[in-house]
Structure 1
Amino acid sequence: MTSAVPPHSVPGADAALGARTGARTRSTAGGTGARRSLGAALLLGAVGAAVALLATRQGWASGTAFVPGGTYPVSAKGSDVTGVPAALAIVGLAALVAVFAVRRSGRLLVSALLALSGAGTIAAALIGAGDSAALDEKAAEVWSGGAAGVSDLSHTAWPYVAAVGGALILVAGLLALRYGSGWPAMSGRYERDGTPRPRKAPTVDPDRPEDIWKALDRGEDPTG
């Protein structure tokens, strides 16, 4: 009487089983990492854009303008100093959404744009942190007779808050560059070439007359 051969006695069985188990473990770990990176990128990108936009609406600098007849306090918002951080924050937010609308090389390019938007926001915010040109323009508006001197200059921390928002956008872009290839994409009815996706033909049950008649109405051979 022939007995069954134990699995462990077959040459290579243990190695094959270990390879399959390792592949399943790596696949599960990769899927978990992709989901976590996706959530982190969405959160960081959205929060970073919101923080940068909020910071540009706050006061970045203030001072005292000397005009004939006395002094006049002047202040400048972030949008008065530079409009680059707000513009790049909006670009970054749009790129964050566009990441899920494209695939392959397109996703790589959009992810790079997202990261560059964050880096540009940081640079523009730090450059504008010590800028006083906006205050000079405000002082000139106070006195129409010409330029007015500005003293007692002070700067707030809001430019650095905008830079933090840019850093969050930058991290979101780096996550998209690293893990974006494993993220899901928006599903569409049509492929890229505009051709409708083929539909699966309905199953015809030969024991049901109504299925046969429906197949004949569609021009199909129910006996095929």
Structure 2
Amino acid sequence: MAEPTRRPRSTFGPVVLLGLVAATAAAVAGSKSWVTGSSGDFDTADQGNQAMVSTLSANGASESPLALALALVVLAGWGVVLVTRGGFRRAVTVLALVASVGLVAATAEAFWSLPGKLADALLELSGTDTASTSFTGWYAVALVAALLCVASTAAAVRLVPTWPEMGSRYDAPGGAAADGSGAAEVPTENIDIWKALDEGRDPTA
């Protein structure tokens, strides 16, 4: 009876680690250049025009800002999953999954739109009628990371009810314990224990 429960719990570390790595990679790749190109004798590496062309269409953050924003949402979602519990934790994983699907869609859309935008910018700047473009390795990283985000968040939605949670004992102490021994004495004893720990004394001595 214990084996089926133990197996899903053991997925907590790998799934969360995969999700964090994938979301971080997607966020980093989203801020890099996804497409480079050249037109005639004009190249995107030429001195004064390099920043202009990069800003117009080659940079993922400027031309596909939604992808970067969604990657950050997924990354933040994993942080929330680590410190919450219960139904709210499950809701966060669902939100992260929705953001991951949007991340894949935004990254895939860039495959069709960015080369054309860069080519148009090159033609306008160079005054020629031919242009060539190509994707950088960062675009491949962004696409793979987006797919891994979907896989990890989908696994989280399914497995999160079986994952270990941060116990209530980690919450800040406060309030009186209703044990019938006197409403005024119990919180005083708790406070004395915490004061003793703060002062480096053993409250059990």
The interval holding the TM-score normalised by the smaller chain is 0.5 to 0.7
Unaligned runs of 5+ in 2: 45-52, 190-205
Matched pairs, number? 171
Larger Rg computed on CA atoms: 1
* Contact 2:27 2:68 survives alignment (8 Å): yes
Q: CA RMSD in A?
A: 3.5
The residue number in structure 2 matching 1:61 is 35
Q: Which has the higher strand share?
A: 1
Identity of aligned residues (%): 25
- How far off its partner does 1:129 sit? 1.7
* Contact 1:126 1:160 survives alignment (8 Å): no
1:33 maps onto 2:8 in alignment: yes
Report the TM-score, using the length of structure 2 for normalisation: 0.66
- How far off its partner does 1:119 sit? 1.5
Residue type at the aligned position of 1:159: Y
2:61 to 71, 74, 79: 79
1:198, 1:138 → 2: CA distance? 70
Q: Which one scores higher on RCO, CA 8 angstroms, separation ≥ 6? A: 2
Unaligned runs of 5+ in 1: 1-25, 203-213, 219-224
1:96 maps onto 2:78 in alignment: yes
1:136, 1:200 → 2: CA distance? 75
Specify whether residues 113 and 142 from structure 1 end up closer, same or farther in structure 2 by C-alpha distance, changes over 3 A only: same
Q: Which has the higher helix share?
A: 2
Report the TM-score, using the length of structure 1 for normalisation: 0.61
Deviations 1:7-50 (A, max 9, x none): xxxxxxxxxxxxxxxxxxx224413421x211122111111012
Residue type at the aligned position of 1:50: T
Specify whether residues 86 and 200 from structure 1 end up closer, same or farther in structure 2 by C-alpha distance, changes over 3 A only: farther
The residue number in structure 2 matching 1:211 is none
1:171, 1:199 → 2: CA distance? 46
Deviations 1:100-153 (A, max 9, x none): 34333222211111112222211111110232354267548958xxx9866112
Q: Write the mapping of 1:1-224 to structure 2, written as runs, cut at 5 A.
A: 26-34=1-9, 36-65=10-39, 71-73=42-44, 74-75=53-54, 76-131=58-113, 132=115, 134-135=117-118, 138-139=121-122, 142=125, 151-186=131-166, 187=168, 188-189=170-171, 196=175, 198=177
